[in-house]
Amino acid sequence: IVDPIDGTSAFLDGQAEFTIAAALAHRGEPVAAAVFNPATDEFWDAVRGQGCRLNGSRVQVTDHPTCSGSRLLLRPRALKLARDPEIFRDVETADPRSIAYRLALVAAGRFDAVVSLGGKSDWDLAAAELLVTEAGGLVTTTDGKPFRYNRDSIRHQTCIAANPRLHTALCKAFSGVR
């Protein structure tokens, strides 16, 4: 599953927020993956059961446990859609245009979570999902359902990625949001 330019609009605008992403999926799940940002020379790779690396060094997700005070990769207006927007006190937000890059940044522990409420395709998520899971995180829909790839439908409506504790809190906050 390959995305030759994830974050095409950032690439066209000359911004360093795009990636090349590739994953090998077996029975609907990614088992090997690589995400590369050529503008920043960041190369993530992961193989199922072997952890995630950034430029050859092991990385892991943060252990931040709550929505409050977290560093989130999302569109700020998404916070208004949460069941209780007040739980998002003192958050830092950013919104790089490449979803694969956002997920990779969570895998590297640079941000605590990704919340994406817009539709994505297999090629947007497969490689970066494995990075996050191999870095100790979870990646699901807002309703906590896992992704499956190379199926009849390649579209996915929402995505949340974070360490297990924060992931649970985010799924509760955004459950049912489409």
Decide if 32 contacts 24 (C-beta within 8 A): yes
Mean pLDDT of the chain, nearest integer:
96
The pLDDT value recorded for residue 143 is: 93
- Name beta bridge partners: 121: 155
The pLDDT value recorded for residue 122 is: 97
- Name beta bridge partners: 9: none
pLDDT digits (tens, 9 = 90+) for 6-55: 999 999 999 999 999 999 999 999 999 999 999 999 999 999 999 999 99
Closest-CA residue to 119 (of 92, 147, 93, 138): 147
What is the rounded distance in angstroms from the CA atom of residue 29 to the CA atom of residue 107?
Answer: 18
Token digits of residue 30 = 């990614």
- Name beta bridge partners: 3: 21
Q: Could you give the 3-state DSSP secondary structure of residue 166? A: helix
What is the rounded distance in angstroms from the CA atom of residue 125 to the CA atom of residue 128?
Answer: 6
The pLDDT value recorded for residue 76 is: 85
Backbone φ and ψ for 27, nearest 5 degrees, come out as: 55, 40
Segment 132-138 shows an average pLDDT of 98
Segment 89-116 shows an average pLDDT of 96
The pLDDT value recorded for residue 176 is: 80
103: pLDDT strictly greater than 80: yes
Decide if 147 contacts 141 (C-beta within 8 A): yes
178: pLDDT strictly greater than 90: no
Backbone φ and ψ for 24, nearest 5 degrees, come out as: -105, 125
Q: Model pTM?
A: 0.96
